[in-house]
Amino acid sequence: MSWQEYVDKQLIGTGKVVKAGIYGHDGSPWAISKDFKVTVAEVGVLNAAFDNISNIAANGIFIEGEKYLFVRQADVNIIYGRKGTDPIIAVKTGQTIIIGVGDEQRVAGDLNGVVEGLATYLIGCGY
């Protein structure tokens, strides 16, 4: 399966994720959903936050230029946020950062389960 298929089928295709992307630790996009415009710098800030959460805890998570409030870091490799009723999750694997965004019509727990599930699978495959 290609990286784009993971985004299209395993994330967006579930109906539980509105926008998503898989990025390298350097911020380069490996695959993104339609119209998901996350910058290399935004992914870089997220990548740094996995090691030191203080920046996004104080200033928020910026994705597509929009500010999401930092909600919590459940695990050293999982960050949750929210903009109003729209949830966001970022999960770091050995080689990737997966970002998933929901909206008011989707349950945050469903979004989280789908993104975390793909991350677990990729970790098992050495990514």
For domain 3-124, the CATH architecture is: 2-Layer Sandwich (3.30)
For residue range 23-82, what is the model confidence (pLDDT) as tens digits?
Answer: 999 999 999 999 999 999 999 999 999 999 999 999 999 999 999 999 999 889 999 999
pTM to 2 decimal places: 0.97
Domains of the chain by residue range: 3-124
Q: What is the pLDDT of residues 104-115, one digit of tens each?
A: 998 899 999 999
Edge-first strand order for the sheet with 86-92 is 29-32, 19-24, 96-101, 86-92, 78-83, 66-75, 61-63
